[in-house]
Amino acid sequence: MSRTLCFDFGNTRLKAALFQDAHMQEVMTLQNDEPATIVELINQTKPDRSVLSSVIDHHPEFETILSKSTRFHKLDHHSKLPFTTPVGKPETIGADRLALCAAAVHLFPKSHNLVVGLGTCITFNFINKYHEFLGGSISPGMEIRFRSLQEFTAKLPLIRKEWSFPLIGYDTKTNILSGVILGMAREIDGIIDLYKEKYGNFNVLLTGGDTPHFVSYLKNKIFADPDLLFKGLYAIGENNYT
């Protein structure tokens, strides 16, 4: 029996998931990445191993603390991955995208897979049946869209996401909700349709915190898992601990 802490440090949130062997037990949101916070989490969860995916400049002592307390691995382009990255500059690929691709290959091996990540940005990540991560695309996520409408106009307010709104907005708030959320849904469906024209059959995996709410707005059939990144991190860690 082993316990693993998987850390996902994104642009908006710092999160961690605790695994007991290969089974995810819980997901936690960290208030910050200060040493005291990490030490407290380690004392509470008592992990044997840890793995980190980070797209931010996290606290310089964070990795040192984990290395001293656990068998630690930081995900980057040097990690042993279950796929290849035949792109121009593999060192520029975000750790979060690598984790998502690893999860897709683990769940659906020898298949074309398109992983759509809903986060600060929307990422589209395509891994072919030969387990090659070919790349994809990046566009603004939901919060960026809401904030940009407020920041780059004179009078539009900052709207927070809600999941009950009409197609035809009847005031400023519902106009923005309809435009942002349905606009994102049609963008995702449109990208999926373009991939269908090129590759035919493939799996579509949707992940991110808003996944359970977002599924109903999409017309394409998808595999939805809000915690896909953590499962990919766990799988990568299994092949990289020293």
Catalytic residue IDs: 96
Question: In 3-state terms, the chain is what percent helix, strand and coil (to 5)?
Answer: 40, 25, 35
* Strands 14-20 and 3-9, bridge-based pairing: antiparallel
Q: Give the integer Cα–Cα distance in Å for 28 and 41.
A: 10
Q: Which two tokens stand for residue 170?
A: 């009847």
AA letter at 8: D
Half-sphere exposure of 162 (CA within 13 A, CB side): 12
Count of Cβ atoms closer than 10 Å to residue 177 Cβ: 20
45 with 6: CB under 8 angstroms?
Answer: no
Beta-bridge partner residues of 3: 20
